[in-house]
Amino acid sequence: MPYVNIRVAGTLTKEQKAEIAQGVTEVISRVANKPPEAVLLFIDEVPHENIAKAGKLLEPPK
């Protein structure tokens, strides 16, 4: 069973998550030759302040 974990800075709408889930499931299913019901996807929404790049915390988009 393929497990996919996606981490994003900030939040997504339910519609965005649904579209990501559908697209990622389709690709994994096709490429790995697994049935869609075998693909398990996790979407983690992480506050910008919990992510650093080049030694600096990310700022939320304005």
Per-residue pLDDT reduced to its tens digit, 8-50: 999 999 999 999 999 999 999 999 999 999 999 999 999 999 9
Give the total number of structural domains in the chain. 1
Contacts of 19 (CB under 8 A, 6+ apart): none
pTM of the predicted model as reported, rounded to 2 decimal places: 0.86
pLDDT over 90 at 62, yes or no: no
Is 2 designated active site?
Answer: yes
Confidence (pLDDT) at 4? 97
Which residues constitute the domain of residue 25? 14-49
Tell me what percent of the chain is helix, strand and coil, each rounded to the nearest 5: 40, 30, 30
Active-site residue (options: 2, 35, 36, 61): 2
CA dist 11 and 18 (Å) reads 13
| Residue 27 belongs to some domain of the structure | yes
Within-domain flag for 61: no
Q: In this structure, is residue 34 part of a structural domain? A: yes
Whether 1 maps to a domain, the answer reads no
Instruction: Say how far apart CA 36 and CA 30 lie, in whole Å.
Output: 9
